Amino acid sequence: MNKPVELKAVPSVALWIDGKQKPATSTRAGDITNPATGQITRRVPFCNAADIDAAVQAAQRAFPGWRDTPALRRARILMRFRELLDANKDELARLITAEHGKTLADAAGSVQRGVEVVEFAMGIPHLVKGEYSEEVGTGVDCHSVRQPLGVCAGITPFNFPVMVPLWMFPVALACGNTFVLKPSEKVPSASMLMADLLKQAGLPDGVFNVVHGDKEAVDGLLNHPGVKAISFVGSTPIAKYIYETAAKNGKRVQALGGAKNHAVVLPDADFEFTADALIGAAYGSAGERCMAISAVVAVGEAADPLIAKLKDKASKLKIGAGDSKVDGKEMDMGPLVSRVHRAKVAAYVDKGVAEGAKLVLDGRTFKTAGDGFFLGASLFDNVTPEMTIYKDEIFGPVLIVLRVKSLDEAIAMINANQYANGTAVFTRSGGAARKFEREIEVGMVGVNVPIPVPIAFYSFGGWRNSLFGDQHVHGMEGVRFYTRNKVVTTRWPDANALPQGFNMPTLG
Ligand code: NAD
């Protein structure tokens, strides 16, 4: 059982408003738990509408000055922020592991993927360049500019406390917007460190703010007339709610949802290579990744040799606290994020057995001495599309295998699934891979790459119920999301004389 902690001994996370830490006015709060120990380590305030209003007002006040700061100077602040992220990457990884549970190496990798978005956003002077057409009529010119929206808000999930916020705010800030971030109430501490690093980088007060909480805080953002755009990443039911509510309130919105990512394995695949790739993709971060492979679709005779290898490798996974080592080596898998989530994932394993799937490896039997939220790796064979463990997103260390006769059957199955975030095909055949790539209706596709998370200068996002909205995050779609286009048509009676000078002009 969880050892009760005296709440007065547990520090509380603050809000970040106007460049400094502030307490919330709300008296509602939640616990932050270390998943490896089950211990409550901190409290987090659950903001009310007044707290949200204070953050949005700070962002509104900061907007005109930030909008009018030349893009070059905004980029230079992001360059300093990038250096500070790098200098603090170990501390960021430590905070992620302490609140989410994933291993330190995995946490550090996710920080690096977030830093890459900052590096993309540093190129903002080039990215927001408009178009110009001379003499569209006699003496008439036409040009377009991309301008910031105002106050933008980000609402993020528990599984990537640094990377997912970094998908959003570096691009939003680079474009000249101000920002209010509402991180997951389970993992709020890394966002507070990033706010401090932005201040150290020279970001003016009020440009970036952090609020905390649950539905009440989120509704405060969705209903605030001062918020112009909402970026959301989380589960599909909440993503749909966010999209509908924000759109009804006249806001621009991108809402990324849940996933069921399939890996199709053809009989000509290299099974050793494929099994290694699938084990990392299915059980890394204890399966709590929106791009985790959770369903293997084995074509023809691929199934038996592949499952034998998966079983062997999954049964040898090292499971333990994310910051622990055995014989100098890190764990492969940490605990799940919460006691409730662990119970939910274990219940899915029960359900799979009850519905007739073959349980090849039972993660429920995994035991540790402490009170952490650990679950071993589970592997199911003979799963069919009607089963709950196929239809639902489990978001835990449970890999299911479905057997099909052909690549066409695999593609049809994936295209019929409600989710369409990521998918992968494993084969040596260029023709089969090309057919898969062309016919699959999924947002992000890997060919012999199990987790095809796009690099920062491409855009991240799924199709169908994995994304509500028109623009994916980061890359050029991120720039388009956080700016609006204006077209200016100009006629002058005569040309103005340019001022004369002798020195090399500087603009930034
Ligand atoms: P979640 O939907 O429970 O929470 C996400 C955010 O929404 C949090 O900030 C939370 O405070 C807020 N929230 C929760 N309930 C709410 C409600 N009723 N009304 C308004 N706001 C609410 O998701 P989670 O459990 O934190 O994260 C896991 C989910 O996120 C999985 O479904 C996973 O697939 C998804 N995810 C998707 C992507 C992607 O890129 N598509 C990336 C990461 C995670």
Residue 356, exposed/middle/buried by CB under 10 A (0-12, 13-18, 19+)? exposed
Q: pLDDT tens digit string along 105-154? A: 999 999 999 999 999 999 999 999 999 999 999 999 999 999 999 999 99
Number of domains in the chain: 2
Q: pLDDT tens digit string along 224-279? A: 999 999 999 999 999 999 999 999 999 999 999 999 999 999 999 999 999 999 99
368 and 287 co-located in one domain: yes
**CATH code assigned at 190:** 3.40.605.10
The answer to whether residue 314 scores a pLDDT higher than 90 is yes
Question: What is the residue with the minimal CA distance to atom 31 of ligand 1?
Answer: 235
386 and 480 co-located in one domain: no
Residue from 47, 152, 175, 290 carrying the catalytic annotation: 290
In a domain, 458, yes or no: no
* pLDDT, position 126: 96
Residue 126, exposed/middle/buried by CB under 10 A (0-12, 13-18, 19+)? exposed
In a domain, 428, yes or no: yes
The answer to whether residue 1 scores a pLDDT higher than 50 is no
Ligand 1 centroid – CA 36 distance (Å): 21
220 and 274 co-located in one domain: no
In a domain, 292, yes or no: yes
193 and 331 co-located in one domain: no
* pLDDT, position 495: 56
Domain that holds residue 238: 6-257+466-487
109 and 62 co-located in one domain: yes
177 and 135 co-located in one domain: yes
In a domain, 506, yes or no: no
299 and 250 co-located in one domain: no
Q: pLDDT tens digit string along 420-435? A: 999 999 999 999 999 9
In a domain, 294, yes or no: yes
436 and 481 co-located in one domain: no
Predicted confidence band at 7 (pLDDT cuts at 50, 70, 90)?
Answer: very low
In a domain, 501, yes or no: no
**CATH code assigned at 404:** 3.40.309.10
Q: pLDDT tens digit string along 201-215? A: 999 999 999 999 999
- Ligand 1: atom nearest CA of 341 is 25
206 and 354 co-located in one domain: no
54 and 130 co-located in one domain: yes
165 and 294 co-located in one domain: no
What's the CA gap between 155 and 161, in Å, rounded?
Answer: 11
- Kindly report the number of other CB atoms within 10 A of residue 11's CB atom: 9
Q: Does the annotation mark 47 as catalytic?
A: no
Question: Within 13 A of 84's CA, how many CA atoms are on the CB side?
Answer: 17
Q: pLDDT tens digit string along 452-463? A: 999 999 999 999
330 and 380 co-located in one domain: yes
Q: Of 447, 476, 502, at which residue does a domain stop?
A: 447
Q: pLDDT tens digit string along 321-378? A: 999 998 889 999 999 999 999 999 999 999 999 999 999 999 999 988 789 999 999 9
- Ligand 1: atom nearest CA of 259 is 34
In a domain, 492, yes or no: no
Q: Do the beta carbons of residue 469 and residue 254 sit within 8 Å?
A: yes
In a domain, 497, yes or no: no
Q: In the chain, pLDDT over 70 holds for what percent of residues?
A: 96
Predicted confidence band at 493 (pLDDT cuts at 50, 70, 90)?
Answer: confident
Ligand 1 centroid – CA 155 distance (Å): 8
* pLDDT, position 369: 77
| Dihedrals phi, psi of 57, to nearest 5 degrees | -65, -40
pTM score:
0.95
